[in-house]
Amino acid sequence: MILLHHLRVGRSLFTVWLLEELGLDYELKIYVRNEQGRAQADLREVHPLGKSPVIEDGDLLLTESGAITSYLLDHYDTDNVLAPPRAEVKERAIFTQWLHYSEGSAFAPRIMKRLLMANPDQRPALITGFANGEVDLQLGYINDFLGDKPFLLGDRLQGPDFGMSYIMEMAGRFGQLEPYPALQAYLSRMTARPAFKRACERAGETERAG
Protein backbone atom coordinates (compact mmCIF):
# COMPACT_ATOMS: atom_id res chain seq x y z
CA MET A 1 0.00 0.00 0.00
CA ILE A 2 1.16 3.54 -0.75
CA LEU A 3 2.22 5.61 2.26
CA LEU A 4 2.04 9.37 1.84
CA HIS A 5 3.89 11.61 4.28
CA HIS A 6 1.82 14.80 4.45
CA LEU A 7 2.99 18.04 6.05
CA ARG A 8 0.23 20.40 7.08
CA VAL A 9 -0.41 23.02 5.61
CA GLY A 10 1.21 22.79 2.18
CA ARG A 11 1.32 21.37 -1.28
CA SER A 12 1.13 17.71 -0.31
CA LEU A 13 -2.63 18.06 0.16
CA PHE A 14 -2.80 18.07 -3.61
CA THR A 15 -1.08 14.67 -3.72
CA VAL A 16 -3.72 13.41 -1.29
CA TRP A 17 -6.29 14.75 -3.74
CA LEU A 18 -4.59 12.92 -6.63
CA LEU A 19 -4.72 9.64 -4.71
CA GLU A 20 -8.41 10.23 -4.04
CA GLU A 21 -9.12 10.95 -7.71
CA LEU A 22 -7.32 7.73 -8.64
CA GLY A 23 -9.32 5.79 -6.07
CA LEU A 24 -6.20 4.16 -4.62
CA ASP A 25 -5.81 2.63 -1.20
CA TYR A 26 -3.21 4.56 0.74
CA GLU A 27 -2.02 5.32 4.23
CA LEU A 28 -1.58 8.93 5.31
CA LYS A 29 0.93 10.02 7.93
CA ILE A 30 0.43 13.62 9.00
CA TYR A 31 3.14 15.96 10.23
CA VAL A 32 2.92 19.47 11.67
CA ARG A 33 5.11 22.53 11.28
CA ASN A 34 7.24 24.18 13.92
CA GLU A 35 7.08 27.86 14.88
CA GLN A 36 9.20 28.76 11.85
CA GLY A 37 6.77 27.03 9.53
CA ARG A 38 9.18 24.22 8.75
CA ALA A 39 8.82 20.49 9.26
CA GLN A 40 9.60 19.10 12.66
CA ALA A 41 12.35 16.53 13.11
CA ASP A 42 10.12 13.50 12.56
CA LEU A 43 9.69 14.25 8.85
CA ARG A 44 13.45 14.67 8.44
CA GLU A 45 13.75 11.09 9.63
CA VAL A 46 11.83 10.09 6.50
CA HIS A 47 13.81 12.33 4.12
CA PRO A 48 16.79 14.57 4.94
CA LEU A 49 15.14 17.68 3.49
CA GLY A 50 12.10 17.40 5.73
CA LYS A 51 9.82 18.30 2.82
CA SER A 52 6.57 16.82 1.64
CA PRO A 53 5.03 15.16 -0.19
CA VAL A 54 7.02 11.98 0.18
CA ILE A 55 5.55 8.66 -0.86
CA GLU A 56 6.63 5.13 -0.12
CA ASP A 57 5.43 2.41 -2.46
CA GLY A 58 7.07 -0.91 -1.68
CA ASP A 59 10.80 -0.26 -1.62
CA LEU A 60 10.45 3.04 -3.51
CA LEU A 61 10.87 6.32 -1.62
CA LEU A 62 9.96 9.26 -3.85
CA THR A 63 9.88 13.03 -3.35
CA GLU A 64 8.95 16.07 -5.49
CA SER A 65 5.31 16.62 -6.40
CA GLY A 66 5.81 16.46 -10.16
CA ALA A 67 7.81 13.24 -9.97
CA ILE A 68 5.22 11.70 -7.65
CA THR A 69 2.40 12.70 -9.99
CA SER A 70 4.25 11.19 -12.97
CA TYR A 71 4.92 7.97 -11.07
CA LEU A 72 1.37 7.54 -9.84
CA LEU A 73 -0.12 8.18 -13.27
CA ASP A 74 2.39 5.97 -15.08
CA HIS A 75 1.85 3.04 -12.74
CA TYR A 76 -1.77 3.34 -11.61
CA ASP A 77 -3.65 5.38 -14.22
CA THR A 78 -3.56 2.56 -16.75
CA ASP A 79 -6.67 3.82 -18.56
CA ASN A 80 -5.11 7.28 -19.06
CA VAL A 81 -7.93 9.05 -17.27
CA LEU A 82 -5.67 11.83 -15.96
CA ALA A 83 -2.98 11.85 -18.67
CA PRO A 84 -2.74 11.44 -22.44
CA PRO A 85 -1.22 8.18 -23.66
CA ARG A 86 2.52 8.30 -24.34
CA ALA A 87 1.82 7.54 -27.99
CA GLU A 88 0.19 10.97 -28.30
CA VAL A 89 3.58 12.67 -28.41
CA LYS A 90 2.52 16.32 -28.79
CA GLU A 91 -0.22 16.12 -26.18
CA ARG A 92 2.11 14.30 -23.77
CA ALA A 93 4.81 16.95 -24.26
CA ILE A 94 2.40 19.77 -23.42
CA PHE A 95 1.14 17.74 -20.47
CA THR A 96 4.71 17.35 -19.19
CA GLN A 97 5.50 21.04 -19.66
CA TRP A 98 2.53 22.12 -17.54
CA LEU A 99 3.12 19.36 -15.00
CA HIS A 100 6.57 20.80 -14.22
CA TYR A 101 5.65 24.45 -14.73
CA SER A 102 3.81 24.71 -11.41
CA GLU A 103 6.97 23.75 -9.48
CA GLY A 104 9.31 25.66 -11.78
CA SER A 105 8.56 29.05 -13.29
CA ALA A 106 5.25 29.52 -11.46
CA PHE A 107 6.43 28.68 -7.96
CA ALA A 108 9.55 30.80 -7.52
CA PRO A 109 7.78 34.20 -7.41
CA ARG A 110 5.19 32.76 -5.01
CA ILE A 111 7.76 31.77 -2.40
CA MET A 112 9.53 35.10 -2.85
CA LYS A 113 6.28 36.96 -2.16
CA ARG A 114 5.58 34.79 0.85
CA LEU A 115 8.98 35.56 2.37
CA LEU A 116 8.66 39.27 1.61
CA MET A 117 5.25 39.39 3.31
CA ALA A 118 6.69 37.84 6.47
CA ASN A 119 8.56 41.05 7.36
CA PRO A 120 7.06 44.11 5.63
CA ASP A 121 9.60 46.45 7.23
CA GLN A 122 12.55 44.71 5.60
CA ARG A 123 11.58 44.33 1.96
CA PRO A 124 14.50 44.85 -0.43
CA ALA A 125 13.17 47.08 -3.21
CA LEU A 126 14.93 45.16 -5.98
CA ILE A 127 13.58 41.77 -4.90
CA THR A 128 10.10 43.18 -4.24
CA GLY A 129 9.92 44.71 -7.69
CA PHE A 130 11.13 41.53 -9.35
CA ALA A 131 8.69 39.33 -7.41
CA ASN A 132 5.72 41.60 -8.17
CA GLY A 133 6.57 41.66 -11.85
CA GLU A 134 6.99 37.90 -12.01
CA VAL A 135 3.69 37.26 -10.23
CA ASP A 136 1.84 39.43 -12.74
CA LEU A 137 3.69 37.82 -15.65
CA GLN A 138 2.95 34.26 -14.54
CA LEU A 139 -0.70 34.83 -13.63
CA GLY A 140 -1.32 36.59 -16.92
CA TYR A 141 0.28 33.71 -18.79
CA ILE A 142 -1.81 31.11 -16.96
CA ASN A 143 -4.97 33.16 -17.41
CA ASP A 144 -4.42 33.48 -21.17
CA PHE A 145 -3.63 29.78 -21.57
CA LEU A 146 -6.64 28.67 -19.54
CA GLY A 147 -9.03 30.90 -21.46
CA ASP A 148 -12.53 29.55 -21.15
CA LYS A 149 -11.49 25.91 -20.72
CA PRO A 150 -12.89 24.16 -17.62
CA PHE A 151 -9.50 22.53 -16.94
CA LEU A 152 -5.99 23.59 -17.71
CA LEU A 153 -5.53 21.28 -20.70
CA GLY A 154 -9.09 21.09 -21.95
CA ASP A 155 -12.37 19.51 -20.99
CA ARG A 156 -11.12 16.98 -18.41
CA LEU A 157 -9.03 16.93 -15.26
CA GLN A 158 -5.41 15.96 -15.87
CA GLY A 159 -2.17 15.71 -13.90
CA PRO A 160 -1.09 19.37 -14.25
CA ASP A 161 -4.34 20.56 -12.64
CA PHE A 162 -3.18 19.31 -9.24
CA GLY A 163 -0.03 21.43 -9.08
CA MET A 164 -1.72 24.37 -10.74
CA SER A 165 -4.49 24.30 -8.15
CA TYR A 166 -1.86 24.66 -5.44
CA ILE A 167 -0.37 27.68 -7.22
CA MET A 168 -3.84 29.21 -7.50
CA GLU A 169 -4.54 28.52 -3.83
CA MET A 170 -1.33 30.31 -2.85
CA ALA A 171 -2.13 33.23 -5.13
CA GLY A 172 -5.61 33.44 -3.63
CA ARG A 173 -4.22 33.56 -0.09
CA PHE A 174 -2.01 36.47 -1.10
CA GLY A 175 -4.91 38.36 -2.72
CA GLN A 176 -3.38 38.04 -6.19
CA LEU A 177 -6.35 36.48 -8.00
CA GLU A 178 -8.69 39.47 -7.76
CA PRO A 179 -7.85 40.74 -11.28
CA TYR A 180 -8.39 37.25 -12.70
CA PRO A 181 -11.99 36.04 -12.32
CA ALA A 182 -11.31 33.10 -14.65
CA LEU A 183 -8.54 31.87 -12.35
CA GLN A 184 -10.76 32.32 -9.30
CA ALA A 185 -13.47 30.27 -11.00
CA TYR A 186 -10.92 27.61 -11.96
CA LEU A 187 -9.75 27.28 -8.36
CA SER A 188 -13.35 27.07 -7.16
CA ARG A 189 -14.07 24.27 -9.61
CA MET A 190 -11.04 22.30 -8.50
CA THR A 191 -11.65 22.65 -4.76
CA ALA A 192 -15.34 21.84 -5.16
CA ARG A 193 -14.57 18.37 -6.54
CA PRO A 194 -15.72 15.56 -4.25
CA ALA A 195 -12.26 13.96 -4.30
CA PHE A 196 -10.66 17.21 -3.15
CA LYS A 197 -13.15 17.48 -0.29
CA ARG A 198 -12.39 13.88 0.70
CA ALA A 199 -8.69 14.71 0.66
CA CYS A 200 -9.23 17.70 2.95
CA GLU A 201 -11.31 15.60 5.32
CA ARG A 202 -8.76 12.82 5.50
CA ALA A 203 -5.85 15.25 5.93
CA GLY A 204 -7.68 17.24 8.60
CA GLU A 205 -7.68 20.39 6.48
CA THR A 206 -11.36 20.95 5.78
CA GLU A 207 -10.82 24.72 5.89
CA ARG A 208 -9.11 24.44 2.49
CA ALA A 209 -12.07 22.82 0.77
CA GLY A 210 -13.97 24.97 -1.69
Predicted confidence band of residue 33 (pLDDT cuts 50, 70, 90): confident
What are the residues whose beta carbons fall under 8 Å from the beta carbon of 113, sequence distance 6 or more? 131, 132, 135, 174, 176
Predicted confidence band of residue 104 (pLDDT cuts 50, 70, 90): confident
Pair 95, 135 in one domain: yes
Output the CA–CA distances (angstroms, integers) from residue 106 to 17, 83, 165, in the order listed: 20, 21, 12
Q: How far apart are CA 34 and CA 194, in angstroms?
A: 31
Max CA pair span of the chain: 53
Pair 183, 99 in one domain: yes
Domain that holds residue 169: 89-193
Pair 37, 17 in one domain: yes
Q: Within its chain, how far is the Cα of 112 from the centroid?
A: 17
Average pLDDT over residues 33-51: 83
**What sign does the CA torsion over 177, 182, 184, 186 have?**
negative
Pair 122, 60 in one domain: no
Residue 203: give its domain's CATH number. 3.40.30.10
pLDDT in the model for residue 37: 65
Residue 101: give its domain's CATH number. 1.20.1050.10
Quote the number of domains for the chain: 2
* Least confident interval from 54-58, 156-160, 203-207: 203-207
Q: Are strands 54-57 and 2-7 parallel, antiparallel or unpaired?
A: antiparallel
Q: pLDDT for 77-97, tens place per residue?
A: 999 999 999 999 999 999 999
Pair 43, 121 in one domain: no
